[in-house]
Structures are given as structure tokens and as C-alpha cells.
A and B are shown apart, each in its own frame.
Chain A
Amino acid sequence: MSDILQQIRDAIIRRKRGEIQGLVETAVKEGIDPNGIIDNGLIAAMDVVGQQFSDSEIFVPEMLVSALTMKMGLDVVKPLLKSDNARPRGTIMMATVKGDMHDIGKNIVIMMLEGAGFQVVDLGVDLTVEKLMEQIESNKPDLVGLSALLTTTMPEMRRAVQILHERGLNEKVKVMVGGAPVSASFAEEIGADGYGADAAEAVEVARRLISDL
């Protein structure tokens, strides 16, 4: 593994926003394949950051600044990807369910999913099941992530999974759920495919569900 990739990972893990662009430019000049920079530099670093967060070694803003640093690096390398060479890891739609306006947790998960190389479509907050179905049918994501902070809006998740099954879409589109009142047993009970207790776990679940497709 080249030294410059190690430096890129360090810069992201240590949140050095001022250094990242120069380091990625150096890696490009050294002739490292852009996909290699993304996989072994940027994404590998965010895996470490996610783990640190899960282990309570770092706090939310530290994780966010790492994600911002990663994005700055990604912006340097993205234009260099030829379209046939760009390997999207899968498309994920994220939303907070109807009746719920809370988006802080969802937005953190989105940042981490993007950090892991997924294409993420943010459908915002207070999203009806009907609108979600329209979006699924027109955009054909691999995975849908639903968030709720209120116990009162959790039943919307159950409805979403139900309707997905009724329409026979559950083979093509997986569903993961999360949010403070949501638990693994609730996810299982409503027939969701996965549950993430925090942003790092959501990334792992997304990887597993999408590789199963």
C-alpha cells in the first residue's frame, strides 16, 4: 500500500481539511488509479472513522468533519473517473417517515453512506408511503432507508414495508430502518430487511443487503 494513500487516510481520520486536496492531487500525479484512491484512501478512512464512532471514541461533530474532509478529497478525484469506470456501489433512498420532521440522524447516516461510496437520494422528511412508492418505482433504488425519531411515527415504517410486499417490490428493493425509538426486534417484526443502531452500523447493513441482491 502506497505511502500517499496512508497519508490520505490519516488526513481524513484526523480531520485535516486543509491538507486533503493537496494529498489527493499528489496521489493522482503519482499515477494511482482514481478508483484505488477512492477505495483504499477515502472509503477505507471512513470505515475507520465509522468504527471509532461506534466504539464511542469520537463524537458526532468529529465524524461529520471527517466526512466533510472525505468529500473534499472525493471532489478532486471524481472528475477523473471515466463514466464506464465509475462503479456505483448501489443506490440508496433515504427518508424520514410521514409525521416526523426529524432529519439530523438521517443526515448523519446519509453522510456515512456517501462516505462508503453509495449513491444516496435524500427524499427529505415527513414523506408519505405513497410518495415513497412513486419514488421507488421511478428511481429504482437498491435499498430504502427509513428513519423515525417519534414512537408515534414508527407505524409508518410498518406500512411502507407492507405496501412494498403487496406490490411485489420487496425482492428488488431492500428496506432498512433506524432512529432512536427503533430496535432490531421492531425491524424484524415489521419485516424490514435490516436495522442499524448507528450510522456506522447502517453502512454495514447497507453493504450486506446490497451485496445480497
Chain B
Amino acid sequence: MLIAAERINSSRKRVAQAIEAQDGEFIRNEARIQTEAGADYIDVNAGAFVGNELECLKWVVEMVQAATKLPLSIDSPDPAVIEGVLPLLKRPPMINSITLEPARLNGILPLAAAHGAKVIGLCQSEEIMAESTDDKVRLAGQLVESVTRAGVPLNNLYIDPLVYPLATHPQAAMAAMEAIERIMKEYAGVHTICGLTNISYGLPERRLINRTFLAAAISRGLDAVILDPTDAPLFAALKAGLAVAARDDYSMDYIAAFRAGRLG
């Protein structure tokens, strides 16, 4: 299970303030605590700084790389921002994200191919954001085709089926989970990934919905996730979900998490 750790995102007020004030220690600490909590990639986002995103992101990248050996997930829709950050990176990153929109596809995929980067592909085109299972799987197929054609190995593609809020789309969780199952079956070698916060928009006790959805999605084959690994109940649900889904042989990881004091 690949974990992209989401805390260093400029849509969080505290992170935006730290970027503005060039508070490097805050950013380095965010990188450290997520690394210790079990992240595989550290996501970095400076999208709130319109017009100045590249400069801000470059600074964040430097701070994070000073604090952790983990690779980064570069969170921007803008090919120019991604291109500008790539030369700074010490390890091949994950690019978060592409859609089927030609500008993003054509701008980003050659960069991903050249740098051996993993790519998150959203089930979204110029015309639609996929809502139904069928649309999600159809757009996933188009992503597979585009990515392969651009020379990015299928194994580096992480398809995000798009998760709608249960509050407004009662079928949202089932549509995403069925898509995950079908995508993993129909395109062997590809990965699936999603964020967990959309699902609970507008509902009380959002974190309870988030972690319940995570465990359920894991049971359908989800093999990567964007989350905050320092969220203790969420991390515990992740470990339990993997054990229940027979993806943790003899529950060894689950037991190890218990011994590390991370389940209760």
C-alpha cells in the first residue's frame, strides 16, 4: 500500500502561513512527522499562491528534501510548475496529477517519461468528471492508453477514480469502489489511488466516514492512498483494512503496528 502524505498543502492555513513567512522549520517538521508515521511519498502543494506557485513550491521542495529521504509527490495541475521543480528533485517523484485534458496530458507525460516519475491520473476529461462506474472505467482506459503511448510504464500510473461526496451523491462510495475493482482487473499492472476527504463532505464525524471508506476501498483492491499518516485512527483503519482484505500475510504488519503502539 503506497501512502502519499498530504499535510504539506497550501490550502491548509498553517502551511500557507509558513510558506509566506518562509518558516522552514515548520515545513521540515511536517515532512519529518509524516516520514516517521509511515509515508512513502511526501505530497507538496503551493497552489494557493497564484502567480507565484513555482517559486513557492521550489522553496517547499528544498525544505522537505532537507528533512527526509522520501521522494516527493508534486501536486500541481500546471506543466510549467512541474517542469520547473523537476531538476531540484533527488529522487523520481510522483506527479499529482494529470487528467485527459490535452494541455495537461501533453505537457506533463513527456516530463514523467523522461524523469521516470509515477503519475496520478484523474478520471476527468475536458467534457466530464466521471461520476458513474462505467464512466470512471471508460476514462481509466483512455488514461492507460495515453500514458502507455507517451512511454510511461503502466506500473507507474495511479488512477484516481474521483470520489464524490456521499452527502450529495448517495452512490458515490460504491461507484468509486466498483470502478477500483474493475480497473485493477481490466488493466493488470496499473494502480489505483484516491483521497479520502471528499467522500465525507457535508456529513458529521467526517473522519469516521473517511476511514470506513478507506477500509472498504482496500477490500476492492485500492493499492495507494493520499492521506495524513499522523491521523492515528485512520492509520489503524488502514492496517486493519489490509489484514481483513488478505493483503497482510498472517497479519504481520497489523501486529507490528500494534507493537509500535499505533492501533489504539
Contacts and interface: CB of A to CB of B under 8 A. Distances in A.
Interface of A: 59-61, 64, 101, 104, 107-108, 126, 150-152, 154-155, 181
B66 interface: no
Interface of B: 11, 47-48, 50, 77, 124, 126, 129, 164-168, 170, 201-204
Given A101-B124, A104-B164, A61 B47 contact: no
B194 to A, nearest CB: 16
Contacts of B201: 60, 104
Given A59-B202, A59-B204, A101-B124, A64 B167 contact: yes
B124 A152 contact: no
A152 B203 contact: no
Given A59-B203, A59-B204, A60-B202, A104 B50 contact: no
A60 B129 contact: no
B50 A61 contact: no
A108 B50 contact: no
Contacts of A61: 166-168, 170, 202-203
Contacts, number: 38
Contacts of A151: 11, 47-48, 50
Contacts of B203: 59-61
Contact of B168 (A60, A126, A181): A60
A126 B204 CA distance: 30
A66 B40 CA distance: 44
B50 A152 contact: yes
A126 B126 CA distance: 9
B127 to A, nearest CB: 9
A59 B205 CA distance: 11
B168 A64 contact: yes
Contact of A59 (B48, B50, B126, B167): B167
A212 to B, nearest CB: 31
A152 B168 CA distance: 24
Query: Which of B48, B164, B202 has the most chain A CB atoms closer than 10 A to its own CB?
Result: B202
CB-based closest 9 A-B pairs:
A60-B202, A60-B167, A61-B167, A101-B129, A151-B48, A104-B168, A152-B50, A151-B50, A59-B202
Contacts of A126: 126
B58 to A, nearest CB: 18
B35 to A, nearest CB: 28
A157 to B, nearest CB: 13
A152 B77 CA distance: 10
A107 B168 contact: yes
B227 to A, nearest CB: 20
A151 B11 CA distance: 9
A189 to B, nearest CB: 14
Contacts of B170: 61
Nearest to A61: B167
A61 to B, nearest CB: 5
Contacts of B50: 151-152, 154-155
A143 B82 CA distance: 39
Given A59-B203, A61-B203, A152 B167 contact: no
Query: Which of B11, B168, B203 has the most chain A CB atoms closer than 10 A to its own CB?
Result: B168
A104 B166 CA distance: 11
A210 to B, nearest CB: 26
Nearest to A99: B77
Nearest to A104: B168
Given A59-B202, A151-B47, A152-B47, A108 B168 contact: yes
